[in-house]
């Protein structure tokens, strides 16, 4: 009887830990608009322009006119969708979790009410799809 109680106590304890992990995951969830904006910024391009030379991180110079399809080293060293400080050198540490900030309310534009904010693709459609899956046809 005592052995059965110990086994059941372990099962209940494991269940409580799982419930706590689920609660923490829900609290740390990234809002959908932020996640979609990040995905949209990554999906703007499929490749870098031909002959592109990326500036070194921290270099002073003109800002590129596009977002590259890949993160530069500075962005890769940041955590949680590029919102935290860059990671430092060896032996340096800081808090992993950023302080929670309330999300600002979405800005309502009343210029043209009832208009869909997404643009419709108005490019002419090809009459025949020839299975050309080249993402960079100009190269």
pLDDT at 70: 66
State residue 21's pLDDT score. Answer: 92
The phi and psi torsions of 92 (rounded to 5 degrees) equal -90, 140
Q: Would you state the structure tokens that stand for residue 115, as one six-digit string? A: 């208009």
pLDDT the model gives residue 126: 66
pLDDT tens-digit map of 69-103:
666 666 666 655 556 565 555 555 556 566 667 77
The model's pTM is 0.29
DSSP letter at 66 equals: S
Tens digit of each residue's pLDDT (9 = 90 or more) over 36-48: 887 777 665 556 6
The pLDDT mean for the chain works out to: 71
Cα–chain center distance at 132: 30
Q: How far apart are the first and last CA of the chain?
A: 75
d(CA 39, CA 27): 21
Instruction: State the Cα–Cα distance between residues 138 and 92, nearest whole angstrom.
Output: 46
Q: What is the DSSP letter of 20?
A: H
Per-residue confidence band for 17, with pLDDT thresholds at 50, 70 and 90: very high
Banded model confidence at residue 31, pLDDT cuts 50, 70, 90 = confident
Taking alpha carbons only, the member of 74, 86, 81, 97 closest to residue 38 is 81
* pLDDT recorded at residue 19: 95
């Amino acid at each position: 009887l005592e052995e059965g109680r110990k086994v059941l106590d372990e099962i209940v304890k494991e269940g409580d830990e799982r419930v706590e992990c689920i609660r923490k995951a829900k609290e740390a969830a990234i809002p959908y608009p932020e996640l979609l904006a990040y995905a949209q910024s990554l999906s703007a391009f499929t490749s870098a322009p031909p002959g592109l030379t990326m500036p070194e991180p921290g270099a002073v110079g003109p800002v590129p006119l596009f977002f590259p399809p890949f993160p530069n080293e500075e962005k890769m060293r940041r955590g949680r969708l590029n919102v935290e400080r860059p990671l430092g050198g060896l032996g340096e540490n800081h808090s992993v979790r950023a302080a929670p900030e309330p999300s600002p309310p979405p800005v309502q534009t009343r210029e043209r009410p009832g208009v869909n904010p997404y643009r419709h693709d108005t490019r002419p459609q090809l009459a025949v799809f020839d299975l050309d899956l080249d993402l960079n046809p100009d190269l």
